[in-house]
Amino acid sequence: PPVIGVLALQGDVREHLIALASADAVARPVRRPEELAEVDALVIPGGESTTMSKLAVLFGMLEPLRERVRAGMPVYGTCAGMIMLADKILDGREDQETLGGVDMIVRRNAFGRQNESFEAKIDFAGIDGGPVEGVFIRAPWVESVGASAEVLAEYEGHVVAVRQGNVLATSFHPELTGDERVHAYFVDMVRASA
C-alpha cells in the first residue's frame, strides 16, 4: 500500500492518520524534510493556515514541500490545507506563505466565524454512493479557479473542492465524519500516479 504522510506541524493530524489507515494506506506524521522524503504522498490537515505557514518556515519545510509539490507528489489539503495549496489567497496575513499547486484564488474564513461552522451534504464528482458529509469550520471557499483546475464540488454556489493533476483540496473536513470516501478517492489518486 502507498505510504502517505500527514503534515504534522499543526492541525488535526490524528484524524487524518486514522482516516487514511481505514482507506488502506500506510499513514505517518511528517515534520521534517527527511520524513517528507520517505512518503509517496502527503495530506495537509485543517487547522490554522497562518500558524502552519509560520511553522513550515521555522521547521525548514517550506521549500522542500514546494519542491515535492512541483515535482508531482500527490497532495490533499483540507481547509487550512486547501489554503496552503492555493496559488493565491485573499484575507491572508501579510507574511503568510502558501505552497501553491492549484491555480485558484482561495478566500480565508469565507464562510464566516467559528460559531457559524456547519455541516452540509456535498455532491462530489467522482465519488459514488451519495453525497459526502461536509464539516465546515471557519472554512475557506474557492473564489476563482484557473483553466487547469477542475471543480469537484460546490456548496450554495461556492466552489469547495478542486483538483489539479495530483493536487486535491477541499474546504471541508472529511476526516471528522467517519466517512472515508474522500480519503479513498485520494488513495486512488496516489495509486494511479505511482
Under the binding rule (CB under 6 A), the answer on residue 48 touching ligand GLN is yes
- Angle between helices 62-70 and 49-58 in degrees, nearest 10: 100
Burial class (CB in 10 A: 0-12, 13-18, 19+), 3: middle
- 180 annotated active-site: no
- 79 annotated active-site: yes
- 183 annotated active-site: no
Binding mask 80-99 for ligand GLN (x = CB under 6 A): x--x----------------
Nine cell digits for residue 9: 506541524
CB of 145 to ligand GLN, least distance (A): 19
Distance CA 30, CA 112 (A): 30
130-189 binders of ligand GLN (CB under 6 A)? 137-138
Contact 171, 151 (CB under 8 A): no
Give, as one character, the DSSP assignment of residue 131: P
Closest CA to 69 of 176, 182, 166: 166
Under the binding rule (CB under 6 A), the answer on residue 79 touching ligand GLN is yes
137 vs 152, which CB is nearer to ligand GLN? Answer: 137
Contact 46, 82 (CB under 8 A): no
Under the binding rule (CB under 6 A), the answer on residue 119 touching ligand GLN is no
* Residue 108, marked binder: yes
Under the binding rule (CB under 6 A), the answer on residue 109 touching ligand GLN is yes
Residue of 79, 97, 180, 183 with catalytic role: 79
Residue that the C-alpha cell 472554512 belongs to: 139
CB under 6 A: which stretch of 22-30, 61-69, 78-86, 142-150 binds ligand GLN?
78-86
Closest CA to 181 of 121, 137, 139: 121
* Residue 144, marked binder: no
Closest CA to 144 of 162, 166, 129: 162
Under the binding rule (CB under 6 A), the answer on residue 47 touching ligand GLN is yes
Residue of 15, 97, 133, 175 with catalytic role: 175
Annotated binding-site members for L-glutamine: 47-49, 108, 137-138
Q: Which positions lie near ligand GLN, rule CB under 6 A?
A: 46-49, 79-80, 83, 108-109, 137-138
Q: Which residues are catalytic?
A: 79, 173, 175
